[in-house]
Amino acid sequence: MPDLSTFSKLVLYILMALIALFDVVVLYWQIMVLRGGSMKNPDGSVDDWHEQKMLYGIAFADIFVACPVSLAGVILVFISYRWGFYLLALSCFWYVWGNTMTTATSLRFQKPKITPVWFISYPLGILIGLVYIIWTLANFDTIFAP
């Protein structure tokens, strides 16, 4: 692990815990969708790939690419930190992109009540992703120094 300040390490550990928890929730949710179950969302919409084939592709990508890359990144931070940071940056970019897409769709077409459950389901991934990307930029010289 590079010579990060105590505060930076604390922020990193909190972010990695949030990323791992977020991945477990997404993994569970997307496995249910991939298995053919209809999953009711907090905004009133339903994830059912029989109705919207795109949801099958998103579930497949989350299960077989995004979540494994993200969890591998969390583990690799402790084994080979540069690879861990690279993988976490990729997965956080996915969080920002994927959750921006779902949040915008929810706001535009479902007009949801903004509740804590809705916030956790949609824009929380954006927030986690952006905070990690900002953390990486703030500590770039330390974590990627030769």
Q: At which residue do the structure tokens 């972010």 appear?
A: 15
- Check residue 12 and give its pLDDT: 96
Q: How far apart are the first and last CA of the chain?
A: 13
Taking residues 56-65, report their average pLDDT: 90
Mean of all residue pLDDT scores within the chain: 92
Rounded to whole angstroms, how far apart are CA atoms 46 and 144?
42
Q: What percent of the chain has pLDDT over 70?
A: 99
What mean pLDDT comes out for the span 127-144?
95
User: What is the pLDDT at residue 119?
Assistant: 93
Mean pLDDT score, 16-36: 92
Query: Which of 110, 115, 73 has the alpha carbon at shortest distance from 90?
Result: 73
- Answer whether 56's CB lies under 8 Å from 46's CB: no
What pLDDT was estimated at residue 141? Answer: 92
Q: Examine the pLDDT at 146 and tell me if it is beyond 80.
A: no
Average pLDDT over residues 46-56: 81
| pLDDT bracket for residue 17 (50, 70, 90) | very high
| pLDDT-derived band at 1, boundaries 50, 70, 90 | low
Residue 46 has pLDDT above 90, yes or no: no
Query: Distance between CA atoms of 57 and 32, rounded to whole angstroms?
Result: 13
- Give yes or no for a contact between 4 and 12, defined as CB atoms under 8 angstroms apart: yes
Q: Are 121 and 30 in contact (CB under 8 A)?
A: no
